[in-house]
Amino acid sequence: DAGVIQSPRHEVTEMGQEVTLRCKPISGHNSLFWYRQTMMRGLELLIYFNNNVPIDDSGMPEDRFSAKMPNASFSTLKIQPSEPRDSAVYFCASSFGRGYKYFGAGTRLSVL
């Protein structure tokens, strides 16, 4: 398996634009997690899904953020409109149940 695949690896956009980050989990995994990492706040859990259903989205910063998992092999994290303070590295991870997590390489987002 190629592991957790995230795209794009880098995204540079202007304030106010819509940003969509994509994640393909490892085949067979039924839990998917979105994290955000900044120097100030470290790694923060944004939301996680179990069997494609959002279980806990308490970490989503505000209504500008939304995440979907339409099927077991794909998830998106959308920011609309984007702001400079959203600049961070966004990681997607997957696991089978409570098993240990496999992380993707991340998407580095810069909002100008």
Partner 1 sequence: DAKTTQPTSMDCAEGRAANLPCNHSTISGNEYVYWYRQIHSQGPQYIIHGLKNNETNEMASLIITEDRKSSTLILPHATLRDTAVYYCIVPANSNSGYALNFGKGTSLLVTP
Residue 83 DSSP code: -
Taking CA 67 as the corner, what is the angle to CA 58 and CA 44, rounded to the nearest 5 degrees? 45
In the complex with partner 1, the residue whose CB is nearer, 59 or 81, is 59
Residue with tokens 């339409």: 70
Contact positions with partner 1 (CB under 8 A) in 22-81 = 31, 33, 35, 42-43, 45, 48, 50, 55-56
List interacting residues with partner 1 (CB under 8 A): 4, 31, 33, 35, 42-43, 45, 48, 50, 55-56, 91, 93, 95, 97-98, 100-106
